[in-house]
Amino acid sequence: MPTKKKNGTPHLRLGVNIDHVATIRNARGGRHPDPLRAAHLAVAAGADGITAHLREDRRHISDEDITRLKQELTRPLNLEMAATDEMLAIATRHIPNACCLVPERREERTTEGGLDVNGGGERLRRIIAELKAAGIRVSLFVEPDPAVIEASAAAEADIVELHTGRYCDLALAGDAIGVAREVGRIAKAATLAHSAGLEVHAGHGLTYNTVTAVARMPEMAELNIGHFLVGEAIFGGLNQSVAHMRRLMDEARAVVGRHETAGRAASAPADANRTPARTGAARQHSKTP
């Protein structure tokens, strides 16, 4: 169940996923925008934790990002990763607060579908056991399906994160019947998971329009949200960055204007006795910094 705030209200934790800050950074290969700076901003704005997915192809978050997040973050880090030995070694080196095991295919654009917990067999159980032995809480990203919830409890995960992608896709498509069906499925899965002793999280595709139905489910302890928040930040922040750039440019031009005026005043008496050709050259020169 969610932890209670001092006033008795059950607190639903918000994990902000910063993967797509790294996506924008990587588009240019430099250091801007820095996902760690975004993580600090998210925490200052009310995030309870930060989520980052270190993909096998490193398409957004890098190994260095994980090192820096772990060193500098003041809130828990939830590391999303595939259930592989490479990722297990990274996780046990950094000891994030939690690891969320997700299915991963190189050709997918984002995590499609939940983890095949039964299909993961002995290897998945071993990875869960090793993460737990290292003191890391283990979450499985799963479809809201009773059989998968039961398999997650049997595999001794601490947490299930219920995949809300289908629900959010149906909401975007305006399919009210489909939305009602999916919300019902997620709610039932949350109840089942909670009664099986699992902590319940949810995420994928959540937006301002779709968060409320999930946030109202009493068993829900944490929501992980990324893509929408980073996208929405453009609309909440582009006005500020453009206005700041405008101000810097205007300030720079004001100085150019002052130099030009001063230059013209200084050269005015001499210009009066010169040929038009020389006057033009002098004017051009005064514009050179």
Query: Which one, 175 or 232, has the nearer CB to ligand PXP?
Result: 232
From the candidates 20, 60, 80, 194, give the one annotated as an active-site residue. Answer: 80
- Residue 147: count other Cβ atoms within 10 Å of its Cβ: 11
Q: Considering only residues 13, 82, 141, 155, which one is a binding residue for ligand PXP as defined by CB under 6 A?
A: 141
Residues 6+ apart with CB under 8 A from 76: 48, 49, 50, 96, 97, 98
Distance in Å, CB of 237 to ligand PXP, minimum: 18
Distances (CA, A) of 209 to 45, 278, 283, 284: 20, 67, 59, 58
11 carries an active-site annotation: no
Query: Which one, 152 or 224, has the nearer CB to ligand PXP?
Result: 224
CB 138 within 8 A of CB 98: yes
203 binds ligand PXP (CB under 6 A): yes
Q: Give the whole-angstrom CA distance, residue 167 versus residue 83.
A: 25
Distance in Å, CB of 141 to ligand PXP, minimum: 4
Region 10-49 residues binding ligand PXP, contact defined as CB under 6 A: 17, 19
204 carries an active-site annotation: yes
Region 227-256 residues binding ligand PXP, contact defined as CB under 6 A: 227-228
Name the segment binding ligand PXP (CB under 6 A); options: 64-72, 116-124, 199-207, 245-253. 199-207
Pairing, β 199-203 against β 137-142: unpaired
Q: How many residues bind ligand PXP (CB under 6 A)?
A: 19
Q: Considering only residues 161, 182, 199, 222, which one is a binding residue for ligand PXP as defined by CB under 6 A?
A: 161
Q: Give the whole-angstrom CA distance, residue 34 versus residue 125.
A: 35
100 binds ligand PXP (CB under 6 A): yes
Residue 3: DSSP 8-state: P
Name the segment binding ligand PXP (CB under 6 A); options: 33-41, 144-152, 212-220, 226-234. 226-234
Q: Give the whole-angstrom CA distance, residue 64 versus residue 70.
A: 10
17: helix, coil or strand?
strand
Distance in Å, CB of 200 to ligand PXP, minimum: 13
Distance in Å, CB of 35 to ligand PXP, minimum: 13
From the candidates 94, 194, 201, 204, give the one annotated as an active-site residue. Answer: 204
At 41, which helix (H) or strand (E)? Answer: helix 35-44
122 carries an active-site annotation: no
For 120-138, give one letter per residue: b (16+ CB within 10 A) or e: beeebbebbebbeeeebbb
Binding residues for ligand PXP, rule: CB under 6 A, are 17, 19, 53, 80, 100, 102, 110-111, 141, 161, 203-206, 224-228
Instruction: Show which residues are catalytic.
Output: 53, 80, 204
